[in-house]
Structure 1
Amino acid sequence: MRTARARTIAVPAAAIVATALAAGPAAADPSLKVRTPAAGSSAKVAGSLLVQWTNTTGKEVDVWLSARTPSGGHDRLSLVAPKAGSKRAGEALATLPVVAPGTSYTVEVTTQDGAESDVSGPLGLIG
């Protein structure tokens, strides 16, 4: 009667370590992340908008209405929720200013010192 033998493959420990290092560290979650409004959503000019974010900085944040620029950046237009808190899961009901209707708007949540920020996807404002 024959018995099956288990075969082992010798892999040098250095090869395992080199492979792990080449993969690099896992990408960390951003310390400030806008959760809502979702990209492509819309709100009424001079209306209200629910903004939600995750904040692991421990710092108080401000919420801005911004306009996207042709170069892909954004310009702040109005501070819509000042001193919105420092909690990990934050939200604010932002009051939007009177601006021209359009689809080139975003919401930016930023720490008050400006060290961390995140911008929502495109937001449409309707008249």
Structure 2
Amino acid sequence: MVISFADGAHNTPDYRFTDESETALGAFLVGDVQTAGDWLLDMLAWAEDVRAGRSLEEDWSGNSWVAEVRPDGLHLFDTLSDDWEGHYALADAIEVMLRYWAFLADHSSSGWKQRELTKWEEKHARPHPLRSAL
């Protein structure tokens, strides 16, 4: 997948894509996850837990997107538009979410990554399953 993140209007994250099929994932991340490190860490953990077989399925509902994480992939459905959805292999979705994590970290205050990761791990009483990649 070739999707990247950049500063958008009003200094908020935006995404760029080379294939129309990538738009749902980009819109989901910048629109619903936004700059919330804990939500992004949740999505990454759920995707990795399902991929590794530690969980059968996870789901999340935000402002306009529903995300379903299943062994066959990350499935996104826009609740405001009947025909906007996206389906991604878990490995591809994780790769893009890790790039979004890096983008947010680069645009946040010093120590943001560690603070968000520590807060997530304390809340869930376990190491993040993708800790080494974060």
Give TM class, smaller chain: under 0.3
TM-score, with structure 2 as normaliser: 0.25
Relative to total residues, which structure has the larger strand share, 1 or 2?
1
- Work out which of the two has the higher radius of gyration on C-alpha atoms and give 1 or 2: 1
